[in-house]
Amino acid sequence: MTDKIAFIVIIFFIFLSCDAEKIFRNAPVILEITVDPDRVNPFDTVYTMVQARNPEEGALSYRWSVSPPNQGVFLDPVDGAATRWIAPTIGGDYTFKVEVSNSYKSTDRSGSVKVIEPTKPVVQILIPKYGDYFVQKNEMEIKAEAFHNNGINKIRLYVNDLLETEISGTSTTQYTLYFTPDSTLLGQTEIKIEAIANFVLTSGIDSIIVNIEGIISGKP
């Protein structure tokens, strides 16, 4: 048992002596990371640069990455303090990460860019269905799904091309709106949902036809 403990102690001190220098060395210090511009269109060029100093002797090395991964293209050189990135066609928020290393340790920092996608939002009315029947003065529930990679700014409900109500976009993709038909809408009525995207204000539209029936006198 004593021999086993002695062996473990020897291994520990061997490991400690090998890593002792690294333990007491300092990592690079990142002073600033620059992303310019921070809002771009697809295929625009983004310039990224990091300023760092090395408290130890020797040169620094750099490694750039972007998240979500596999989006856009880094242009050579990709292992220096500055690089360029071609924005992808998919809109959204992208985060750059640079890892700066010396001979002993590394440190990292992040910056972000927003890619503006010019495509229209995808919109679909889920409820009601085309051709459904409703009775005047009874509140109708309209459920719709709307999505855009840059998010939704506003959802608008039109009834026979007249704006009925408007709500702000949220982080969810599903929206619920309400309206109560009156006697002016008897017969076939068009229900239309317009979704407006953030930043570029492009809009997508879906519409259906429903039937509004009147209340027969003398019946509940």
80 belongs to a structural domain: yes
Predicted pLDDT of residue 9: 45
| Domain span including residue 127 | 122-213
Query: In this structure, what CATH number is given to the domain that contains residue 33?
Result: 2.60.40.10
Alpha-carbon gap, residue 164 to 157, rounded angstroms: 6
Residue at a domain's end among 66, 82, 115: 115
Q: How many domains does the chain have?
A: 2
pTM: 0.77
End of a domain among 115, 134, 168?
115
CA distance 18 to 206: 67
Among 123, 125, 64, smallest CA distance to 95 is for 64
Is 1 within the bounds of a domain?
Answer: no
pLDDT in tens, 189-211: 999 999 999 998 889 999 999 99
- Whether 11 is covered by a domain: the verdict is no
Detail the DSSP E strand segments found in 103-202: 106-115, 122-127, 133-135, 140-147, 152-159, 162-168, 174-179, 187-197
Based on the fold, state whether residues 143 and 173 are members of the same structural domain.
yes
Is residue 143 included in any domain, yes or no? yes
- Over residues 101-126, the pLDDT tens digits come to 999 999 999 999 999 999 999 999 99
The answer on 32 and 50 residing in a single domain is yes
User: What confidence score (pLDDT) does residue 27 get?
Assistant: 94
Cβ(193)–Cβ(123) under 8 Å?
A: yes
What pLDDT is attached to residue 15?
A: 45
Residues 110 and 169 in one domain: no
Specify which residues 140 forms β-bridges with.
179
How many angstroms separate the CA atoms of 161 and 67, rounded? 42
Confidence at residue 24, expressed as pLDDT on a 0 to 100 scale: 77
Angle made by CA atoms 214, 217, 220, in degrees to the nearest 5: 85
Quote the pLDDT of residue 16.
46
pLDDT at 21: 57
Domain edge (last residue) among 115, 137, 164:
115
Burial of 42 (0-12, 13-18, 19+ CB in 10 A): middle
Residues of the chain scoring pLDDT < 70? 1-22, 216-220
- The size of the chain, in residues, is 220
What is the pLDDT at residue 13?
A: 45
Same-domain pairing of 111 and 126: no
Q: 208 and 150 in one domain? A: yes
My answer on whether 100 and 162 are in the same domain is no
